[in-house]
Amino acid sequence: MIWNVIFAVVFCSCYTYAGMTDEEVKIQFTKIVMKCQKDHPVEMNELLALQSLQVPKNKDAKCLLACAYRAEGSMDAKGMYDLEHAYKLAETTQKGDDKRMANAKKLADICSKINEEAVSDGEKGCERATLLFKCIIDNAPKLGFKV
């Protein structure tokens, strides 16, 4: 399914809702993306590019990511990465694995630096969502997460 990789990148295989299986989380995230696609329609080639972990260049694809991050809680209403939310997710998904939790928090810390970047779309968050996407792609594998 096209959304599986987008799901993996958004949640970086370390962020899942407590008590839900990976498949249930994928279904939930697919619902979020489908809702977002109504306001931010993207062409199939753009979805395939996201699936290939290519950082989006198209405004609608960037805004689709922002919408999904907002709906999931990783991005706040002002278009900023929510570090506190990321920490909570790391804690609720550790499943007894302290190293996994520590690495998820480390990834959150690394990616929180995107909040310091200047973006031209301000609170819209599309550009910052793209920075988050890139940060996760670049750093999650280094910390043992599969994207």
Annotated domain spans of the chain: 3-143
Taking CA atoms, 39 is separated from 4, 30, 94, 138, in Å, by 21, 15, 34, 28
What pLDDT, on the 0 to 100 scale, is given for residue 10?
56
Q: What is the mean pLDDT of residues 55-68?
A: 92
- Residue-wise pLDDT tens digits, 12-30: 444 445 545 456 666 776 6
Say which residues have a Cβ less than 8 Å from residue 144's Cβ, sequence separation at least 6: 99, 100, 103
What pLDDT, on the 0 to 100 scale, is given for residue 99?
86
What pLDDT, on the 0 to 100 scale, is given for residue 14?
43
- Residue-wise pLDDT tens digits, 80-138: 999 999 888 877 766 667 888 888 899 999 999 999 999 999 999 999 999 999 999 99
Whether the per-residue pLDDT at 146 is higher than 80: the answer is no
Taking CA atoms, 91 is separated from 25, 102, 117, in Å, by 17, 9, 27
Please choose, from the candidates 126, 28, 9, the residue with its C-alpha nearest in 3D space to the C-alpha of residue 79: 126
Are 60 and 46 spatial neighbours (Cβ–Cβ below 8 Å)? yes
Higher per-residue pLDDT: 77 or 24? 77
Task: Please provide the CATH number assigned to the domain covering 3-143.
Answer: 1.10.238.20
Work out the angle between the directed axes of helices 22-39 and 59-72 (0-180°, nearest 10).
130
β-sheet bridge partners, residue 124:
none
